[in-house]
Amino acid sequence: MDGTLVNSDAVVERCWSRWAERHGLDPVAALAVVHGRQGHATMAELLPNRPVEVNLAENQQMLAEERADTEGVVEVPGADAFLASLTGLPHALVTSADLPLARIRMDAAGLPMPPVLVTAESVGASKPDPEGFLKGAAALGFAPADCLAFEDSGAGIAAARAAGMRVIGIGPRAAAHHPDALAPTLEAVTVTTAPDGTLTLTVRA
């Protein structure tokens, strides 16, 4: 969702920069690892000696802070048209956000929620663990190898690859992680359905 359908970078940068400063960390270093992960996983990466329970509790505070801030949340260019092109086709949203945050951000960006959701509450491990993508494929009734993942972050791309999926990278953040194809925005992605049901996905660099 974040970085792929919804541009929430402004909120993420505000909230996580404040968090990093409270803990005496470099905000730039924090923002380098935050994208694509659940908050407690980011905290564990940045403060590896802290108890898990502290990270989980502080993650709840961070989620509340992020839910209350939608300033600057917009759709990634082309996201609405892309989702419209998937109407009636099997697709799922696999996000590290919890369900309330996912709904708030999709609403703020003016985007419809996909029919199948895998959110933070659905999994026991955050990306880059593949659990979310594996659950998404299972819910759709497809083998992971028959799915495509759309991702913007290193953690998300690693998770999709570990699940056995091919990955379409969206945006400049994805480029460094060598997805199978790269699109600057979703405006560069077109999905068409042939009369026999065959799907064709075109990615314009």
Peptide bond into 48 cis (omega under 30): no
As to burial, measured by CB atoms within 10 angstroms (0-12 exposed, 13-18 middle, 19+ buried), residue 2 is: buried
Domain range list for the chain: 1-205
What pLDDT shows up at residue 198?
Answer: 87
pTM confidence score: 0.91
Positive or negative, the CA dihedral 37, 39, 41, 44 is: positive
Structural contact between residues 123 and 45, judged by C-beta atoms closer than 8 angstroms: no
Per the structure block, which two tokens stand in for 163?
Answer: 């699940």
What pLDDT shows up at residue 205?
Answer: 78
**Which SS3 state, helix, strand or coil, does residue 106 take?**
helix
What pLDDT shows up at residue 197?
Answer: 82
> For the chain, what percentages of helix, strand and coil (3-state, to nearest 5) are there?
45, 15, 35
Beta bridge partners of 6: 2, 75
What pLDDT shows up at residue 5?
Answer: 97
Q: Along the chain (205 residues), what's the average pLDDT of each consecutive run of 10 residues?
A: 95 94 93 90 94 95 94 97 94 96 97 96 94 98 97 96 98 94 96 89 90
First to last CA, the chain: 21
C-alpha pair distances (Å), 4 with each of 43, 78, 95, 115, 173: 22, 10, 10, 17, 10
Which uninterrupted H or E stretch holds 91? Answer: none
What pLDDT shows up at residue 160?
Answer: 98
What pLDDT shows up at residue 123?
Answer: 95
Question: What is the architecture of the domain spanning 1-205?
Answer: 3-Layer(aba) Sandwich (3.40)
